[in-house]
Amino acid sequence: MYKKGELGNDGKKVCWYGSKQLWIMIYTAILFLIGSCVIGGNNNTVFPAFAEARGWNLDIINMISGIGCIMKAVGLLVLASTVRKLGEKKLIVITLFISAALLVVFGTTTNQAIFLVVILVLGFLGGGYEKNGGMSITAKWWPTKKGVVLGFTTMGIICMNFLYVPLMPKLFATTSLETGMIIIAIILAVVAVLGLLFVKNTPEEAGTYPDGDPDFAKHGAEIAKEMQEYKSPFTLKKVCADRNTWLIGIGSAFAFLAVMTYIASAIPVMVGYGYDYTVATMIFAVGGVMGLVGSVVLGIVDQAIGTRKTFIIYFIFIIIGFIFAYLMPHGLVFCWLAGIVIFAAQGALCNLLPSYVTTKYGRWDYSAGYKVIGTIFEIGAGIGVMATGIFKNPGQMFIFDLIILAIGLVMMIVSNDKLIGRPD
């Protein structure tokens, strides 16, 4: 491999963040932001607004929201074969357009049953544009730099915490519930059009190289064609037979479960403890910024020492955060510490998992591995959201989180990160 700044075989400089790479990074970050907002990002503000305005049962909506997160896992699994047939670009565009149309229904329907069905379908479609689309493109564009790249692109997920959650109530107040959701739908449609016009499935199709490295370009055209026709030897049965599938999948799912119990309930829990609503939302917003820091820092650590070791550091870090969460009734300082640590850890989680899968399977077999491991991971998020409606005592919920995080830490320690997919 060439080093950054050196000239490749074609006389071009090596750079993994050139203009074409930078565009794909920005676009995938937007996909991650959209997925985190419309799937699992509504519990603190949007759902309460609709429930209050239309007299709906908020507990039922939150429970269905958890199932909606699981539906993203279903979409990931079901649409995994579709992405191989259509390519990432077409799948992204199609699922974004359908999601945009459904958001109009989401905002305008007065029928709670229809509202709940839309939540489930939106979750399923996220398995298309976000998981099978954005994640797969990342693995193809950056086979060896995926850790640091995901450290930046998954910032989109974190931006939900200080863009969508605090700003949606203001949007509703300025316009209306209906108009607010139509505006979000228009944004999704615009992103779909941008994808249709400017996104390429592989760097070779865009006239550049994986990692921006001309060393990959010796057979660039052949590589692009071969990747389009490539059939992974990792069947569903073979992936499921690997013990590491379950160690990585369940271990990371436990982390996601714990994170989502906090993310989906942080504001009402702090208000329930007697803290001011404004302070609670401020902690949420500041925590979102810390999520950006966590995403970048652990992305760099991932690139330096490997994903498995970074995942172990992550678990230790987030366990400390949940100890602070358990202590929140004993002082506002613990609310701030919990928010900062857990949000910072959340910022790293959604880039560590795909990075680990890429480490294990490489860019050629990434989809085959991620459709199983990622499905398990997303189920963890859904159960976490649902758990907020099961545990009436936040302290008991946080103890439960600490137990499963300890189990997840052990699973990650005994997992293996040796590449088993096709090497580049």
Average pLDDT over residues 398-412: 97
Q: Does 49 or 81 have the greater pLDDT score?
A: 49
Which residues make beta-bridge pairs with 7?
Answer: 13
Nearest to 50 by CA among 118, 140, 147, 128: 118
Identify the weakest region by mean pLDDT among 110-119, 171-180, 265-274.
265-274
Average pLDDT over residues 397-405: 97
Q: What is the pTM of this model?
A: 0.80
What pLDDT is attached to residue 9? 46
What pLDDT is attached to residue 1? 40
pLDDT confidence band for 40 (50 / 70 / 90): confident
Identify the weakest region by mean pLDDT among 20-24, 151-155, 342-346.
151-155
What pLDDT is attached to residue 180? 97
Q: Are 13 and 7 in contact (CB under 8 A)?
A: yes
pLDDT confidence band for 183 (50 / 70 / 90): very high
Q: Where are the domains of the chain?
A: 19-414
H-run or E-run covering 283: helix 277-305
Which stretch, 111-120, 147-156, 262-271, has highest mean pLDDT?
Answer: 111-120
Average pLDDT over residues 276-282: 86
What pLDDT is attached to residue 392? 81
pLDDT confidence band for 10 (50 / 70 / 90): very low
Is 215's pLDDT higher than 90?
Answer: no
**Helical segments of 39-163, H only:** 46-54, 58-78, 80-86, 88-108, 112-126, 136-141, 146-153, 155-162
Average pLDDT over residues 232-249: 92
* Mean pLDDT taken over the chain: 88
280: amino acid identity, one letter: A
Burial class (CB in 10 A: 0-12, 13-18, 19+), 10: exposed
What pLDDT is attached to residue 2? 41
Phi-psi region of 87 (alpha: psi -120 to 50; beta: other; left: phi over 0): left
d(CA 295, CA 87): 28
pLDDT confidence band for 329 (50 / 70 / 90): very high
Burial class (CB in 10 A: 0-12, 13-18, 19+), 25: buried
CB burial readout 336-346, b (16+ within 10 A) else e: bbbbbbbbbbb
pLDDT confidence band for 7 (50 / 70 / 90): very low
What CATH number does domain 19-414 carry, 1.10.10.10, 1.10.3720.10, 1.20.1250.20, 3.90.1200.10?
A: 1.20.1250.20
pLDDT confidence band for 154 (50 / 70 / 90): confident
Average pLDDT over residues 285-303: 84
What pLDDT is attached to residue 224? 57
What pLDDT is attached to residue 225? 65
C-alpha to C-alpha distances, 6 to 11, 131, 241, nearest whole angstrom: 9, 34, 43
Q: Does 295 or 220 have the greater pLDDT score?
A: 295
What pLDDT is attached to residue 344? 87
Tokens of 136: 């797969």
For residue 13, the number of C-alpha atoms closer than 13 Å in the C-beta half-sphere is 6
Q: Does 294 or 93 have the greater pLDDT score?
A: 93
d(CA 100, CA 374): 24
C-alpha to C-alpha distances, 45 to 98, 123, 181, 268, 354, nearest whole angstrom: 24, 18, 13, 10, 29
What pLDDT is attached to residue 227? 66
Is 203's pLDDT higher than 50?
Answer: yes
384: amino acid identity, one letter: G
Is 129's pLDDT higher than 50?
Answer: yes
Nearest to 398 by CA among 339, 308, 321: 321
pLDDT confidence band for 139 (50 / 70 / 90): confident
